[in-house]
Amino acid sequence: MATVQLKPIDQKEMEIMIQGVTPLIQHKWSEKALREMREKQSGRKTKTREPKNPQKEAEAATYFTKDGRYGVPLLAIKAAIIGAAHKDIGIEKTLVRKSLFIKDELGDGILPMDCDEPVIREDCVRVGSGSADLRYRPQFNRWAVKLRIVFDAENLRPDDIVNLINRAGFGVGIGEWRPEK
């Protein structure tokens, strides 16, 4: 019987700061919205609408780390990086998915941002029946996130990762109004 000897994974780490070049608009599902969806799906009648509170609605749409800082979902950044990969540019999505990991220092899935205080933006949106409604969301005009990346150096080189991140920022993005949408 032949023996197979696997080489150990050549894990490397790198740190990169991504700097937003356009405002970041967040839209986290609020607990209230999730509760109302659950009630509607279970057949319970939902309450009548309460008056809108723009400040409260924008805060509910904001991502915070477990220690209270403004943040960005780690999975949104990884999805953007994977979304930038394509076999036509020489790096397949599946390769990136299994070879690149972003460290979650706080263990909450949210990466802390270096940012200014958000402004509350008011957007007119179309809801299910086609009628218009107002939504209030936080907009971060200046923002940056430090990524601590662990990768398989046999599959990806540091310059591949930097180029993927640049492509992700240019053509995919994160948050509302991102280029991909």
Residue pLDDT, tens place only, 107-130 = 999 999 999 999 999 999 888 788
Show the tokens assigned to 10.
């050549």
The per-residue pLDDT for 48 is 67
pLDDT category, 47, cuts 50, 70, 90?
low
pLDDT category, 46, cuts 50, 70, 90?
low
| Mean of pLDDT values over 71-91 | 96
Helical segments of 6-116, H only: 31-41, 54-60, 74-84, 93-99
Q: What is the pTM (predicted TM-score) of this model?
A: 0.88
Phi and psi at residue 65, in whole multiples of 5°? -75, 165
The per-residue pLDDT for 165 is 98
The yes-or-no verdict on residue 13 having pLDDT over 90 is yes
- Specify whether the CB–CB gap between 12 and 155 falls below 8 A: no
Q: Closest by alpha carbon to 97, among 111, 85, 109?
A: 85
Question: How is the chain split into domains, by residue range?
Answer: 12-37+59-116+140-172
The per-residue pLDDT for 11 is 98
| Mean of pLDDT values over 4-30 | 94
